[in-house]
A and B are shown apart, each in its own frame.
Chain A
Amino acid sequence: MSSTRKFEVLRTVVAILIALLISFGVIFLVSDDPLNAISWLLTGPLKSQRNFFNVVESMIPLIFTGTGVCIMFSANQINLASEGAFHIGGLVSAVVALKLALPAGISPVVAILLSACAGALFTAIPAILKIKTSADELVSSLMINYLALYFSTFIMKYFLQDPAVGSASYPIPEASTLPTLIARTRVHPGIFVALAVAVLGYVFLYKTKIGYQLRLTGENQQFAEYSGISIVKVILISQLLGGFIAGMGGGIELLSPIYDRFSWTSLLGYGWDAIIICTLAKKNPLYTPLSAFFLAYLRTGASIMARYSDVSLEIVQIIQGVVILFIVAQQFLSRYKHKMIAREAKAALKEEEEEVG
């Protein structure tokens, strides 16, 4: 392992430890029985099979959006529209399930594929806007996320709404839903798709020609251009694919046993989570399941803690925030990094001298 790699791992671990310490501090401040709360937070997900599978089921959407963002960010396109793509994906799969009445087995497949396509078209909007008008994709993607939200709510209210329930669609018909894999849990086949997407995302970025073009462009656009790579093509493909995966995640999530209707009247935040996942995974989709597991474990632990102690669930967000801050702070631990590199350089120099001598 190279020193840089070693250092990155070290920094991630230290950042997580600092974040946990800070959150323990907060727990000590707010809780009457802090040790109990901390113990639930850390070990809760392991206390029962059901709790553990809660972790697994909440990993699924995180892996999807995380992988999508890894691909977009690898091309250095800071497009935050995966949030909206996920939402639109959910809507499209609800529409397909409710309106097309396809036979079981085919319905979910069609629904998921169409939701993925919708997601791709959606994230392409900031990309095209950037290519055509040079509008910053960050700002425009923030705006279209709200368009996704209100558009979906509109479609739901006027075309799908179940008057008996209020602001939710009719129930998703059985023919379209994804089955439960393990009794008394909500783990569904989406986990396999998610893992496959993470692996395929890795293969795409690190093993294919176009993935290589994409990363070259992300790391040094001018160099990529000098090498003969078409930048416009890279910008478009990275964001179409990122949206495709996020949309697919939305479609699968809605058809999963976790939801029985389309009832998303606010943004779910998976797009933001995706950025944490991507940061933790260092833009490598292969590590997204691991990062997603970390995040899902933390959240499940926190919700169990919230149930059995007086500390509320939101502590998770603080932990996440602090972890990100320290992982991406380049100067954090930089003195240590410098020492590590200097030591290595000296060793290399010595080696060279020995060679000569």
Chain B
Amino acid sequence: MTSIRLLLVLGSVPFFALSVRAGEPDRVRIQLDWVPEPEFGGIYAAQARGEFRKENLEVEVLKGSAGVATPQLVANGQVEFGIVAAEQLLAVRERGGALVAVYAVFQKNPLSLMVHAENPAHTLEEVWRGKGPVAVEPGQAFVRFLSTRYGGTPRLVPYQGALATFEADPTLAQQCYASAEPVELERRGQKVKVFPVADSGFDPYNGVVAVNGRYLAEHGDLVHRFVLALRRGWQAYLAEPTAFDPGIAALNPAMSREAMDLAAVKQQPFIESDFTRRHGLGTMDPKRWAELGRQLKDLGALKDEPDAAKVFTNP
């Protein structure tokens, strides 16, 4: 009788474990640093396909906007995950915020400068040293880099995240994602030239998923499950973006579905690389983080070179 009871108890253990795993999902939030666009396609695809649910996660995606303080929100524990730029993560870390990168969407940074097609510039250097104003988000690290690399003192004006000011001024050069704004402009019949900043030698990871270091230490398994689901989401999105773009377009009326379909194709070479084909989408290379730390120190954006091994993990 005792052995039967023991068998019943032991036999129920896997079911109990299953019921816990399939029970209340872990609720987490991810703060985007911009409005819903294909640059977050993998997150929305993971949601639509139920990839997060398969990992027993309930993920709330919080839309971003120009100037949203995502790194500070994550570092202060207001949200569990956030999309940040690599240089922002290092800046917050130096000032006491325990941010850790766990996934990097963009292996090559799509951040670029675009000019109207009739602009005489043929290279990034010519754009930078040109006569027209350059609209950039104040505090962008690449501004320091380009100033050091190419010299010149362009008339810097604030980037507002809108296309209206760019359309109104034919002399303006404006910061953009190579796969986003130029696509929408071309769809509206305006030809533009695009110069990726990465080609200048400053190529930090972008679309980096960051977590608070304390949260990572206490919920390592949850973060691992999140990254697994996210990677599957990105694989699904890259394979068939048109299946998910209508859902993203419904959240962002400012960008048409057609533009999103085109943007998804254009961003692919920025997301996939030889490195990700060997190690998996979103995987990060310590050499890249070390290089960025050195560059930011040389530019005076950081006081000390960070320990690259501590700023990221590939769960």
- The answer to whether A and B interact is no
Chain A residues packing against B (C-beta within 8 Å): none
